[in-house]
Chains A and B, each alone.
Chain A
């Protein structure tokens, strides 16, 4: 039983990470109807920026918020410069451009920072927290808390601010929004900026666990896809919850189903995605897409 609780707890910890990357995916999907395959690499790149700042002697939290600002600007610039020219092109064209972006970011990061793994500091104390016999890593708890704070901010932003309302309107009905005087193109750019920011938070939370290297997000991205699929691509809260569930399932299956172990972990994500897509394609909390015929 003890092992069980321990596994659930560490599952929740990794799940928080999946949830935050999933949150970034859902953000862009909601704001622009595009699944951004470069999301993981954008997060990785942001984390390297944070690392550079910290190496230059900037204190952790200054570097943290500095990175968020840089990532936001970077996301907006990427949308304006790279995505904008293909905005109204077929969906596959956009997918290919995103993939191009992915390989560029990955390669440039490797070129600047080399492929050697780097340790990345955690803002939380290294001392684990004991609750009975179950050990909670302070960083794990902190990471989940940070993810929840980000979620709360996003919710408040979209729910209570005029800009958030304008962004939702632009995504739902671009033509009418434009007639109301909303600058739809800029709303999309801001959506990318926000997603880059959320990704940066995820990157900085995951880096202390997996270490910083240009390929660190590859495995996480697929779990994030699984989380977003499970929670529903239309529901930010669902994405975070989906992440936690995926984290726990991954750990429990790895511990108790012996032929899977750690070798077939990615296959579990695949199976999960397939099962969800077949039985409930819109996810647990998503709205089913309704098309006008």
Chain B
């Protein structure tokens, strides 16, 4: 894709996103807010897994950490919600960085295992600190109203708010990945030893990537707490982490737009599966998963890239 075509595509997508509240019901809008939240989380995971090559099956834990940071701050101390989301990001940045240090010694399969165990353990840990987390009952919040006297329903306001966070974070990620830092991150994935020989501090970059990735997912978790207005431990089970990994692989590894496609998939496909078969919706979901992997092993973004490349080649061939 030429830079110009890319700019047009991004502008078009943004226009559609901005116009969306005019055309859909509050419930649909709520679903699209969820898509935006998932997209942020998936982008975080994609930075780690897609660009840096570290497989995490435990990002649900950071999502939970972000959600609970936000929920506890609002519930216990009445902190304004935009501030709690920043805090959620910072907390996850630090925790992710710290978790990244032992994870440095682990590669591929072993890292996947360690993070998988983290994902499995998180609901228990949340229930254990009952005083803070409200145990299995969780914490109930209320949806914030639109500020500055804007005539928007809470759902509409939260949609625009999440969309703004999404755009800011995507722009940030793009700048991070396009520059010197991004090259270092990708170099470590492709050949860690060569990267080190070129003077990349692999240990530092890997831990930092883990931190940044966790921070993105934490911000998404914080947003989800506000959007859903409820947090409970069992929402953050291991399936959430698996869903995230599914999202980035289906959407397209090492692709920024892939995060959006993946988020659409994980938000809407389970619902379609439910429509197709009430008896065994997860079976349908599983078939979708496997089917997608057969047809487009490089995800939706990869498939689109390939189709475009083919179209361009045809175009030049026709002209010649």
Contacts and interface: CB of A to CB of B under 8 A. Distances in A.
A145 B124 CA distance: 33
Contacts of A110: 280
B297 A107 contact: no
Interface of B: 49, 55, 102, 105-106, 108-110, 112-114, 116-118, 120-121, 124-125, 127-128, 193, 238, 242, 245-246, 249-250, 253, 279-283, 285-290, 293-294, 297
A57 interface: no
A95 interface: yes
B245 A95 contact: yes
B124 A225 contact: no
A293 interface: yes
A269 B113 CA distance: 11
Interface stretch (A62-70, A174-182, A239-247, A270-278): A270-278
Interface of A: 35, 82, 85-86, 89-93, 95-97, 99-104, 106-108, 110-111, 218, 222, 225-226, 229, 233, 263-267, 269-270, 273-274, 277-278, 281, 293
Contacts of A101: 286, 290
Contacts of B110: 229, 277, 281
The listed residue with most A CB atoms (<10 A of its CB), out of B49, B114, B117, B120, is B117
Nearest to B282: A107
A267 B124 contact: yes
B283 A277 contact: no
Contact of A226 (B117, B124, B245): B117
Q: Give 9 nearest A-B pairs by CB, closest first.
A: A104-B286, A100-B289, A107-B282, A107-B283, A111-B280, A103-B286, A100-B290, A270-B117, A270-B121
B289 A96 contact: yes
A117 to B, nearest CB: 19
Contacts of B105: 277-278, 281
Given A104-B286, A111-B279, 17 more contacts: A86-B294, A95-B112, A96-B245, A100-B285, A100-B293, A101-B286, A101-B290, A106-B282, A222-B120, A225-B116, A233-B109, A265-B124, A267-B125, A274-B102, A277-B105, A281-B106, A281-B110
Nearest to A283: B110
Contact of B282 (A104, A263, A266): A104
A264 B287 contact: no
A39 to B, nearest CB: 13
A108 B280 CA distance: 6
B109 A102 contact: no
Contacts of A222: 116-117, 120
Nearest to A83: B290
A281 B280 CA distance: 39
B124 A263 contact: yes
Contact of A273 (B55, B114, B242, B246): B114
Given A99-B289, A111-B279, A277-B105, A90 B117 contact: no
Nearest to A106: B282
B297 A90 contact: yes
Nearest to B289: A100
A86 B297 contact: yes
A95 B242 CA distance: 10
Nearest to A268: B121
Contacts of A85: 294
Contacts of A278: 102, 105-106
Contact of B246 (A96, A106, A226): A96
Given A35-B109, A92-B253, A263-B127, A274 B114 contact: yes
Nearest to A265: B124
Contacts of B102: 274, 277-278
A110 B283 CA distance: 10
Nearest to A275: B102
A121 B283 CA distance: 28
Nearest to A100: B289
A70 to B, nearest CB: 20
B289 A225 contact: no
Given A107-B282, A111-B280, A269 B117 contact: yes
Nearest to A108: B283
A107 B288 CA distance: 14
Contacts of B124: 263-267
Contacts of B294: 85-86
A111 B283 contact: yes
Nearest to A293: B193
A86 B289 CA distance: 13
Contacts of A95: 55, 112, 245, 249
A290 B120 CA distance: 30
Contacts of B55: 92, 95
Contacts of A265: 124
B114 A277 contact: yes
A97 B283 contact: no
A266 B112 contact: no
A229 B113 contact: yes
Given A273-B117, A277-B106, A100 B193 contact: no
Nearest to A111: B280
B171 to A, nearest CB: 27
Contacts of A91: 108
A97 B290 CA distance: 5
11 contacts: A95-B245, A96-B289, A96-B290, A97-B290, A104-B290, A107-B281, A107-B286, A222-B117, A267-B124, A277-B102, A278-B106
B194 to A, nearest CB: 9
Contacts of B250: 96
